[in-house]
Structure formats: structure tokens, C-alpha cells
């Protein structure tokens, strides 16, 4: 097959390739390799060719088609009109009259759906072995799992049969298969892509995900596929700038677990260390954090009441046709019946507590770097120990949707046995473009980056940052951590950078009559100084509104620091300190407050 990434495909179309010719090539390639186990049902070739011919007419008429003739696959829990949906359970099969919202949006943009792909039945699993339609394997070694539940989607892209594929991601199903097949797996913020027409796993958490060869392709497709849908109760409109690649300054801070777990896989540990080193060479500062609360939150997904949501999705079928369900899936799904409404609320309370507990972590980092999975298993080993090994694969993925975060998985190199490793960047909700911008830099810095299993090098140029950026601001008083005005920073997605001290020449005063109490920092060349400050990184888009909330006699100026650098920070008009208490000797506002 020819190269099918967006850059290469656009060039091929410019040189005379037609969508009808491409569809013919793809179907011929699938016939040669066989439909199973990657595909469950193909769109009939005649229908796909008719769709391609219609696109050629629309293009000739001048219609704008940003995904003109781009072939893609859809996981078989996503409805395509006229094509059976099975969710990898033959007895569950039905044929929808209407396509899912995401299919409609992609087809309107000119994309061509080739067929429906295999999956862990009812999207329950991270390994790809739980399907009666066969077990897709990693494109690099047929003895090893492909990852699930979006197994067929990942293999279809990694094999070079389609440009991109839709998966779904509840617990990591859009990320683990990406690692095992050397792909990019973009799990968007919850609600960005409508799930109307997608058979739920956990409806409140599910995301439609994108598998592609490059971050740029995945981000473009995600943006086109996204959009508020009034027919989806969980749909959310993307805030302005959600898809803009981030501008990462020198000295950005990335968080990594203090003691990452690799299930005894030393090569995976070495490759993760190499990814950390690449980020540091790209200007990042590593910040370690305690992964325990993230891990404990992740356990709620399968060892908590969210399992009941899996039962809710197929309750009638599961109760009347239990023997039609894969044994491992049946045990998990029917286990949801043991949870009560009280359990559900208690689970929500525990999750909220975990989210509150990890807020300080997010204040200290710009992005989180994790192994996508701790290791990879053979199909034989997975079948012998299906629950425990599958659980291991979710070590670094299960918490993300529970905590309403965005994530993108990218390749992270190869082990000596030729199997791929991968890492995931995790950010706040609606930071999809921001983390994608840096994920692309990380992917391209790999040096050995190729497209899936095709061996082709990454095409095109790195993503360019669009707008955005951040400004470092030094705060000295009521905006410090734990003090009354700190929320004016955190509500604007400000990130803690470091503590520092001013250079000499600054005097520090307790201003009278301020509510809440505030200090004033004045440069008077007195020879004093060394006033402690906290430096926070504020988004450029939020900087103006932050400054607008600062009352006179305070303002933002440029502070000199004791390390010879300078930063924007709080200063005070000189007249306001006449008669005020000089508190320079305390060396900082918190020390002064503690003395009172």
C-alpha cells in the first residue's frame, strides 16, 4: 500500500490519484491479507466506490472537503448506517439506520469509512483477545497482544490500510493499542466528540479516540470530528483555543511518578528514562510526584461502582443472553449488579476526594509524562491470566477519564526484541491542542520515529504553536499558596514554577487597611532584600484579566531576583508605604503573618 498519512495522501491526490482508485487499492489489500481478525464487517466495496465517486463530483463542484478521500476505519461499537454493529458479540448484532454523530461529521468533511474493526467484546478489556472474531496481534510480532479494546482499529492504521481509525477510550483503549502498534493515540477531553450512536461502555466516561501515524494527523481529525451535539447529554463545546498546539517555553515542568512500575520489564523502564531525557533536552524540568492517589482513583473503574455502568449499557441482553457473552467479559459486566445506589454515591465521593488531593500536583507541573503501559504480554500469557495481566496494562490509563483529563499517547522507541514502547502526555480537560503540540516534538525527537508498522519516516513538518504562551509572575502576598487570593491564579490555570528571592534593594511593608491584608514591595536601593516570592506561570490569555483585579496601590512591574534574572511581579506605589510597618526583616509575607 501507498503511504496514507494526510500529507502523503494530499500529495498523491494532487498528482492525479482519485478516491475511487484508492478505495479499489485498499479493498484489494484487505482481500490479500484477509478480513479477520482486524475487520468484523467491511462497507461493501460497491458502496464505498459510490461514495468515492460522489466525493469526486463534490470536489469538482468546488465544495470544501478538508478530509477529501481520506480512508478510515471505525471500531465496531460505533454505528455506520447500513453496516451491522456487533460490539464483537454476534448474538447482539443489529443494523443501524443512522450513523453515529462522529461518522456523520467525518463523512461531511470528505472522509470514506472502509469498515468496522474488531474489539474486546463490549469494549471491555485492554488487550485485544476477548473477541469471537479472532485476536488481532501487534503488527511487530504476531505472538503479542495488539492492545484493546480498540484492537482492530489500531492494527488497521499500523498496517497502512487506512489513514486513521476511530476507537473508544474509557480506561485506556485509545492509548494502549497505540503503544503496542507504534501509533499516536489521541484521547480527547470528555464530550468533545459526540458519543451519540456509540454503544456505551461507561457512558459518563466514554470518549471516541483517534489512532493515526502522526500527532498532526490525529489533532486535525479530532478537531474536525468534534462539535457540540444537542442529542448527546454528555456533549461539551470546546473552549476557544482547545485545538491550538501549545507554545512550550524553556523550563516547562513535566511530572513523572516517583517510583514508576514496569512489572519487571527492565527495557520498558530504560525506554521511559530515555523519554524523560528527551524532554529534558527539549527544555523541560522533571518534577517527581506521588502516583498513589492517581492509582487509587484508577481502581474505582473496575473495583468500584463504575462497573455497574457497563451493565447498564447492555442490561437487558446481559440478563437474558449471558451465555452469548465472552466468559471474562460476562464476569466483569454481570459483576456490576452487586453495586447499590449508595455504592455509586460513595464512589463519587471517593473520586472527588482523590481529585482534590492531586490538585497540588497539577499546580507544580505543566504536563504529566507516563508510560502508556508498563509492559506488553504475549497472547498466550494473556489468555492464561486474563484479569490480572489486563489490569496491569491499565496501570497508567484508568484514572484519566475519571479525573476529566486529556491525554495523547506517542511512540517511545523499541525494545531490543523489536517490540514498541510508548509514553503518554496528560493534561487538563480541553488542553488537547496544547499537549499535542509538545507530543509532536517528543515524537519527532525520538530519531527512529516511523509510521506504525510500515517503516516509513514521519512526513511533514512539526506542529507550530498557535497563540497561547505563558507569562511568569512573582507573587509576594495574598496570592501565595494557601492565602485568600490564591484562587485568582488557580482559576486561571496558573501553574507553580518555583520559589525564589528578590535581589537586594527591595523593602517590604505591611499595608494598612487592606482587605484581605496585603504587603507592598518597593525598590528603594536600601541594600535590604531577599524577599521570598512564588513564581507562577499564567496563560497569556488570562494575564490581562488577572492584572485587572489588582487594586491600587499595587501593580505589576519587573522584579530583579537574586539569581540575576528578572520576572514580572507585584510592586507597590512608593507613596503607599509612608507610615506603613517595615517588615523586610521577616524575609517574606508568610513569615510575617506567622509572627503576629
Instruction: Indicate whether 250 pLDDT > 80.
Output: no
Same domain, 505 and 439: no
Annotated catalytic, 11? no
User: Can you tell me the distance from the alpha carbon of 455 to that of 443, in angstroms, rounded to the nearest whole number?
Assistant: 15
Active-site residue (options: 99, 153, 173, 537) = 173
User: How many domains would you assign to the chain?
Assistant: 2
Same domain, 333 and 405: yes
pTM of the complete model: 0.84
Same domain, 490 and 395: no
CATH number, residue 483: 3.10.490.10
Q: What is the DSSP letter of 15?
A: T
Question: What average pLDDT does the structure give for the chain?
Answer: 95
Between 129-133, 153-157, 206-210, 557-561, the lowest mean confidence (pLDDT) is in 557-561
CA distances from 265 to 52, 261, 290, 374 (A): 46, 9, 21, 7
**Tens digit of pLDDT for each residue in 303-326?**
899 999 999 999 999 999 999 999
Instruction: Indicate whether 466 pLDDT > 80.
Output: no
**Tens digit of pLDDT for each residue in 371-390?**
999 999 999 999 999 999 99
Annotated catalytic, 173? yes
Residue 543 included in any domain: yes
User: Can you tell me the distance from the alpha carbon of 240 to that of 432, in angstroms, rounded to the nearest whole number?
Assistant: 12
Instruction: Indicate whether 459 pLDDT > 60.
Output: yes
Same domain, 139 and 270: yes
Residue 463 included in any domain: no
Contacts for 462 with CB less than 8 Å, ≥ 6 apart: 440, 441, 444
Residue 239 included in any domain: yes
Same domain, 420 and 371: yes
Mean pLDDT of the 433-439 span: 93
Assigned C-alpha cell, 13: 491526490
Residue 94 lies in domain: 6-444
Annotated catalytic, 150? no
Active-site residue (options: 138, 146, 149, 150) = 149
User: Can you tell me the distance from the alpha carbon of 333 to that of 359, in angstroms, rounded to the nearest whole number?
Assistant: 32
CATH number, residue 257: 3.90.1300.10
Mean pLDDT of the 536-565 span: 90
CA distances from 316 to 130, 206, 211, 322, 442 (A): 21, 20, 32, 10, 46
Residue 450 included in any domain: no
Same domain, 112 and 212: yes
Same domain, 383 and 516: no
Residue 454 included in any domain: no
Helices (H), 397-479: 399-402, 432-444
Amino acid at each position: 500500500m501507498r503511504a496514507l498519512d494526510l500529507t502523503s495522501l494530499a500529495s498523491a491526490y494532487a498528482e492525479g490519484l482519485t478516491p475511487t482508485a484508492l478505495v479499489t487499492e485498499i479493498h484489494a489489500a484487505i482481500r490479500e491479507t484477509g478480513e479477520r481478525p482486524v475487520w468484523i464487517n467491511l462497507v461493501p466495496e460497491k458502496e464505498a466506490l459510490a461514495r468515492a465517486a460522489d466525493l469526486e463530483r463534490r470536489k469538482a463542484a468546488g465544495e470544501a472537503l478538508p478530509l477529501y478521500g481520506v480512508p478510515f476505519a471505525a471500531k465496531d461499537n460505533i454505528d455506520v448506517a447500513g453496516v451491522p454493529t456487533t460490539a464483537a458479540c454476534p448474538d447482539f448484532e443489529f443494523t443501524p439506520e443512522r450513523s453515529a454523530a462522529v461518522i456523520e461529521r467525518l463523512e461531511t468533511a470528505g472522509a470514506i469509512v472502509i469498515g468496522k474493526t474488531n474489539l474486546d467484546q463490549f469494549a471491555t478489556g485492554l488487550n485485544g483477545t476477548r473477541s469471537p472474531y479472532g485476536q488481532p496481534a501487534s503488527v511487530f510480532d504476531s505472538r503479542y497482544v495488539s492492545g484493546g479494546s480498540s484492537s482492530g482499529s489500531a492494527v488497521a492504521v499500523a498496517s497502512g490500510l487506512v489513514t486513521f481509525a476511530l476507537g473508544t477510550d474509557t480506561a485506556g483503549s485509545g492509548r494502549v493499542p497505540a503503544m503496542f502498534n507504534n501509533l499516536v493515540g489521541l484521547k480527547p477531553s470528555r464530550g468533545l466528540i459526540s458519543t451519540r450512536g456509540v454503544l456505551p461502555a461507561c457512558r459518563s466516561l466514554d470518549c471516541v479516540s483517534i489512532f493515526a501515524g502522526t500527532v498532526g494527523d490525529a489533532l486535525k481529525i479530532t478537531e474536525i470530528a468534534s462539535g457540540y451535539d444537542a442529542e448527546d447529554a454528555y456533549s461539551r463545546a470546546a473552549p476557544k483555543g482547545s485545538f491550538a498546539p501549545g507554545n512550550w517555553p524553556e523550563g516547562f515542568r513535566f511530572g513523572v511518578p516517583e517510583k514508576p512500575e514496569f512489572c519487571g520489564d527492565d527495557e520498558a523502564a530504560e525506554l521511559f528514562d530515555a523519554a524523560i531525557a528527551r524532554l529534558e533536552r527539549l527544555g523541560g524540568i522533571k518534577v517527581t510526584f506521588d502516583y498513589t492517589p492517581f492509582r487509587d482513583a484508577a481502581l474505582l473503574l473496575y473495583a468500584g461502582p463504575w462497573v455497574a455502568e457497563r451493565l447498564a449499557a447492555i442490561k437487558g441482553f446481559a440478563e437474558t443472553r449471558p451465555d452469548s457473552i465472552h466468559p471474562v467479559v460476562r464476569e466483569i459486566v454481570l459483576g456490576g449488579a452487586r453495586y447499590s445506589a449508595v455504592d455509586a454515591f460513595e464512589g463519587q465521593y471517593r473520586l472527588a476526594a482523590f481529585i482534590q488531593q492531586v490538585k497540588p500536583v497539577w499546580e507544580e507541573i505543566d504536563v504529566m509524562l507516563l508510560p502508556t503501559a508498563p509492559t506488553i504480554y504475549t497472547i498466550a500469557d494473556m489468555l492464561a491470566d486474563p484479569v490480572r495481566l489486563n489490569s496491569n496494562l491499565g496501570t497508567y490509563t484508568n484514572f484519566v477519564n475519571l479525573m476529566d483529563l486529556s491525554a495523547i499517547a506517542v511512540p517511545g522507541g523499541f525494545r531490543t526484541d523489536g517490540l514498541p514502547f510508548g509514553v503518554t502526555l496528560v493534561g487538563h480537560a480541553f488542553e488537547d491542542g496544547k499537549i499535542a503540540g509538545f507530543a509532536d516534538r517528543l515524537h519527532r525527537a525520538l530519531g527512529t520515529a516511523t509510521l506504525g508498522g510500515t517503516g516509513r519516516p514521519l512526513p511533514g513538518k512539526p506542529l507550530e504553536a498557535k497563540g497561547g504562551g505563558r507569562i511568569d509572575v512573582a507573587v509576594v502576598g495574598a496570592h501565595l499558596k494557601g492565602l485568600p487570593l490564591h484562587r485568582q491564579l488557580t482559576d486561571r490555570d496558573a501553574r507553580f514554577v518555583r520559589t525564589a528571592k528578590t535581589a537586594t534593594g527591595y523593602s517590604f511593608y505591611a499595608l494598612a487597611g487592606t482587605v484581605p491584608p496585603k504587603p507592598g514591595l518597593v525598590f528603594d536601593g536600601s541594600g535590604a532584600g531577599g524577599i521570598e516570592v512564588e513564581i507562577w506561570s499564567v496563560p497569556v490569555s488570562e494575564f490581562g484579566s488577572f492584572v485587572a483585579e489588582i487594586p491600587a496601590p499595587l501593580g505589576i512591574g519587573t522584579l530583579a531576583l537574586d539569581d540575576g534574572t528578572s520576572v514580572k511581579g507585584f510592586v507597590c506605589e512608593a507613596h503607599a508605604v509612608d507610615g506603613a510597618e517595615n517588615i523586610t526583616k521577616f524575609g517574606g509575607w508568610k513569615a510575617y503573618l506567622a509572627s503576629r
